[in-house]
């Protein structure tokens, strides 16, 4: 298949009513490769995980890239404030025992260590929860375009910061190229085992 040119691709906000299409995209091109989801058994994301991502759509802080009407990239972001470390710890406890609980347990540890609102003395941050690009159009800076759209939206909404927990080396490189400051690194060594 011929790769689309970057100019063929429109980036715009995800509207209310487009959650289903967004989730279809995330299930195809985000969840299967995002290292935390892929590295935590079982492979499929839990309903609570998907509900959490979609709960960000009404904030008007999620964006997608479309090529010929087809979603080829998406970013899910939402606001957080200085209570986020306590909130995340509570959410991790609430979902303990399942895949989402294990993911939240790790993300909660990251949140406590970074605590960006208190660290930078700001009331809020627009936090990027998920970023995915269809492999067919990777390497065309679509991830960067979506992160730029989130930053523009953060300015419009009065959030002084944009934060992101990069779980993949590609996303980490991408945001560092955009000038993001690294405030914490968590090294996780995993070994996936075959099903018994
Ligand atoms: N595997 C192999 N190569 C990759 C990948 C990948 N997953 N991602 C990017 N690359 C390559 C590109 O092909 C490109 O190579 P080139 O310079 O030789 O052309 C180079 O890395 C730079 O690509 P970018 O334009 O920076 O990356 P892009 O925006 O296309 O995609 C992204 C980056 C979104 C992280 C993508 O890898 C992806 O969707 N991964 C799956 C989901 C995921 O892990 N998301 C990030 C988790 S963190 C979070 O969501 C907050």
This model of the complex carries an ipTM of 0.93
Q: Rounded to 5 degrees, what angle do the CA atoms 98, 22, 160 make?
A: 85
Phi/psi region, residue 115 (left: phi>0; alpha: psi -120 to 50; beta: rest), is left
Query: Mind listing the pLDDT tens digit for each residue in 71-99?
Result: 999 999 999 999 999 999 999 999 999 99
Task: For residue 172, give its domain range.
Answer: 6-80+126-177
In short, whether 175's Cβ falls inside 6 Å of ligand 1 is: no
| Residue of minimum CA distance from atom 43 in ligand 1 | 34
Does the residue 112 lie in any domain? no
Query: Mind listing the pLDDT tens digit for each residue in 122-170?
Result: 999 999 999 999 999 999 999 999 999 999 999 999 999 999 999 999 9
| Residue of minimum CA distance from atom 26 in ligand 1 | 174
Does the residue 115 lie in any domain? no
Out of 73, 170, 172, mutate this one to test ligand 1's pocket (max ligand atoms within 8 Å of CB): namely 170
User: Is the Cβ–Cβ distance between 136 and 1 less than 8 Å?
Assistant: yes
Tally the domains of the chain: 1
d(CA 82, CA 111): 10
């Amino acid at each position: 298949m011929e790769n689309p040119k970057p100019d063929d691709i429109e980036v715009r906000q995800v509207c209310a009513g487009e959650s289903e299409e967004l989730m279809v995209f995330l299930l195809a091109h985000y969840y299967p490769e995002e290292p935390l989801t892929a590295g935590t058994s079982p492979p499929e994301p839990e309903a609570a995980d998907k509900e959490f991502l979609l709960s960000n759509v009404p904030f008007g802080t999620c964006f997608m890239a479309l090529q010929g009407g087809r979603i080829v990239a998406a970013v899910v972001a939402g606001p957080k404030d200085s209570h986020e470390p306590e909130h995340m710890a509570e959410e991790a406890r609430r979902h303990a025992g399942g895949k989402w609980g294990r993911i939240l347990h790790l993300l909660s540890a990251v949140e406590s260590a970074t605590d960006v609102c208190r660290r930078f003395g700001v009331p809020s941050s627009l936090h990027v929860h998920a970023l995915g690009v269809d492999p067919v159009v990777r390497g065309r800076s679509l991830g960067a375009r979506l992160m730029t759209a989130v930053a523009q939206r953060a300015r419009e909404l009065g959030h002084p910061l944009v934060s992101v927990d990069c779980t993949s080396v590609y996303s980490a490189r991408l945001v560092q190229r955009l000038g993001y400051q690294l405030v914490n690194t968590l090294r996780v060594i995993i070994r996936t085992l075959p099903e018994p």
